[in-house]
Amino acid sequence: MAKRAATGASPTVPSKIKLTTWGSGQTMYRVHEATYAVDQFNPSPKGNARFSPILDPSGNVIPTLYAATTPRGALMESVFRDVPYRTGFKHVDAKRLEGRACSTLLFQTDFQLLDLSKVALRGLGIPPRQLIDTTKAHYPVTRGWAEQVYAAHPRIQGFLWSSRQDDRALAVVLFGSRVKASDLLDAKLSRPLIRNGTPEDFVLELATDLKVLLK
């Protein structure tokens, strides 16, 4: 596995887990680079997310797909995840929206997921501040943890948790190496985040609530 920077305390890697069966019939929303198909897992070794990119025990990138139960949750977990908690207006570069889309996926099956809700984390003995309530400075540690869990539990297909960025939404990450293409269905409702230099209305509505200026 790739060497990871040590940043803060490392979460405990559970030797035994109880998987949650979840997903069938769920309508999910994904913000992604438009170069990827709606149901395509991201195979890139680049990026800096909580649980991606990660490697399997042989050092290969595990393709991942993030989604949320609401469009706002998907936006908050991606283009708006770095908006600070402070009064007044904040600025986000509108270029962050370019080449990205918000797409709708229909989950066709129940996935075997590790529940990372706060109740479940108590059972695992992991404080949320070590895993799902961290800043991006801690991401090398959370990715290393995800790699170890993936290697130790061959049946696990992803993680499910309450979004840190939008606590009204659930977030999920799926491992493409353990999910079939038929498990996901493109709902054909993909929308660009920005069109001809103007952010789309659903993006502007959230930006207004966040007091974010897109320039």
CATH number of the domain bearing residue 63:
3.90.175
14 in any annotated domain:
no
In this prediction, residue 4 carries a pLDDT of 45
Q: 76 is written with which tokens?
A: 């908050």
Classify residue 51 as exposed, middle or buried by CB count within 10 Å of its CB (0-12, 13-18, 19+).
buried
As beta bridge partners, residue 112 has: 21
Q: 88 is written with which tokens?
A: 């007044």
Classify residue 25 as exposed, middle or buried by CB count within 10 Å of its CB (0-12, 13-18, 19+).
exposed
CA separation for the pair 215, 210 (Å, rounded): 15
5 in any annotated domain:
no
The model scores a pTM over 0.85: yes
The continuous run of DSSP H or E covering 71 comes out as: helix 71-76
In this prediction, residue 5 carries a pLDDT of 44
6 in any annotated domain:
no
User: Which amino acid is present at 100?
Assistant: R
Among 149, 192, 165, smallest CA distance to 68 is for 165
Domain hosting residue 70, numbered range:
20-86+101-192
Using the structure block, give the residue that is written with the tokens 């989950």.
Answer: 107
Contact 47, 8 (CB under 8 A): no
- What does the pLDDT profile of the chain (215 residues) look like in tens digits? 444 444 467 899 999 999 999 999 999 999 999 999 999 999 999 999 999 999 999 999 999 999 999 999 999 999 999 899 999 999 999 999 999 999 999 999 999 999 999 999 999 999 999 999 998 899 999 999 999 999 999 999 999 999 999 999 999 999 999 999 999 999 999 999 999 999 999 999 999 999 999 98
Q: 119 is written with which tokens?
A: 């109740």
198 in any annotated domain:
no
41 in any annotated domain:
yes
Contact 5, 140 (CB under 8 A): yes
202 in any annotated domain:
no
Sign of CA dihedral 43, 46, 47, 49: positive
Number of domains in the chain: 1
1 in any annotated domain:
no
In this prediction, residue 8 carries a pLDDT of 62
CA separation for the pair 184, 37 (Å, rounded): 12
175 in any annotated domain:
yes
- Polymer length in residues for the chain: 215
